[in-house]
Amino acid sequence: MSAVAAPAKKNYLTALREALDEEMGRNPDMVCEGEDIGILGGAFGVTEGLQAKYGKERVIDMPISEACIVGNAVGMALNGKTVMAEMQFIDFISCGFDQIVNMLATYYYRTAGEVNMPVVVRGPAGAYGGGALYHSQMNEAWFCNSPGLQVVCPSTPYDAKGLLKSAIRSGNPTIFFEIKELYRKREIEEVLPNEDYLVPLGKAAIRREGTDITLVSYGQNVYHCLAAAQELQGMGISAEVIDIRSLVPLDEQAIYESISKTSRVVVVNEAPMTCGFAGEIVARISQNAFKYLDAPPVRITRLDTPVPWVKPLELYVLPSLEKIVSAAVATVKY
């Protein structure tokens, strides 16, 4: 008898492609649109093969105009379509900002709940890859500040697939941040279920349990927190790592429950500090979980500067293992 081969592990990018393929297959009214997503399969290959499978009327190559892409998505949603709109890089979502925050985000409210906007705007985000200031942004706080939008940022292949499927099926407009440095990262590949599955929006994941300090993050910085937790363990400090996964809706309760156990918290994200989402989490902790705290909450974020191209400078302005460990040690000793 021949040995049965172990199931193949899949990367973050493949998980996203599978999510789109499966949702296109189950929903004949779903369409995808974006720059180069058809013939070329997208700048990173997330939509590779979808146009050949579903046709040019459902996988649409669009002009280089993010305002046009999102405006077209709004129009198609008004005509009964479910839409995935790709931004080639999330940095350039600013060119479609008006259509997102003044049209996409507000339709449900201004029609008194009569009109949904089943549109997911997704794209590659984040730094650490030498992309410099135009290809390294994490601008999620812009959209968390716009009522009516869901905001999601997965850190694992399993979550990338399950959260994207949940966002598509939710019927609500969603900004979906994909960490491009994780697209093909071998170390995080996973065996994904063969059966259909969803990961619920608004439910955090405990990536590591601990008792002395809570590290809260999302996206690529989750892995910096996990590495920091491992190093802290060698110092006799037990760190719990919370991956919030979706920013809006936010699983506040998971954060508070962890802090009720550890009494200390460091929040990590790679967007700038001023008005960044880490500050929002710290504010909610201060308001709703102050009674649990034995030390002030701490933020580790990007410095308030564009992302430099030169690698040493890029690493200088971004969160790092060393910065997280240093902050955690200081917080535990407070």
Give the length of the chain.
334
Q: What contacts 148, CB < 8 A, 6 or more positions away?
A: 104, 105, 106, 107, 108, 109, 173
Among 135, 180, 264, 302, the one annotated catalytic: 135
CA distance 37 to 14: 15
Contact 10, 157 (CB under 8 A): yes
H helix intervals, the chain = 12-26, 50-54, 66-78, 97-98, 107-110, 140-144, 157-170, 221-233, 252-262, 277-288, 311-317, 321-333
DSSP three-state, residue 35: coil
**Does 224 qualify as catalytic in the annotation?**
no
Measure CA 75 to chain center. Answer: 25
Q: In what order do the strands lie in the sheet with 246-248?
A: 59-61, 30-34, 82-86, 119-125, 174-179, 150-152, 246-248
Task: Tell me the pairing of strands 265-272 and 298-302.
Answer: parallel
Sign of CA dihedral 68, 12, 192, 172: negative
Catalytic residue set: 135
